[in-house]
Structure 1
Amino acid sequence: MTTHYESSHPRVRRWANTKDAAAHIHRHPEVLRRWHRERDEHPWLPMPRRVGKNLLWDLDELDAAIDARVDRPEGR
């Protein structure tokens, strides 16, 4: 009997603080902070979770958002 455990377990999220998330996407932390502050200009940016004074970013969501920006046709 074969059991598939992959479908029964939720996805494991990879969380990072702003400094590490910015390094992950090869940007300065202040760029990520500015994008977050200017939500109207950057609606594609996923919302981080606030834990105390810190923001935690889901790296998979951040990757997907960046990839969608890179893959979109010019002029849009």
Structure 2
Amino acid sequence: METHPESTHARVRRWASTKDAAAHIDRHPEVLRRWHRERTEHQWLPMPRRVGKNLLWDLDELDAAIDGQVDQQGIR
């Protein structure tokens, strides 16, 4: 009988441009840019990764942050 070590599947990160990430959360790209610029007011927002001049957002982290804000504010 062959045994396999426990699988260590790494999470596949879903990266998106600011435009695509904003569409994913149903917001205008400028809203996401403003939230990023105003970090002190939006500390819950995950940090994007900068690639050249572009920001790339992890969609799973963004979803979790938005869900956390909804849960914190009691919005359903």
TM-score by length of 2: 0.87
Shift >2 Å, 4+ stretches: 1-5
> Unaligned regions of 5+ residues in structure 2, if any?
none
Q: Counterparts of 1:1-76 in structure 2 under 5 Å?
A: 1=2, 3=4, 7-74=7-74
Percent of aligned positions that are identical: 79
Number of residue pairs aligned between Structure 1 and Structure 2: 73
Q: What TM-score, normalized to structure 1?
A: 0.87
Structure 1: any 5+ residue segments left out of the alignment?
none
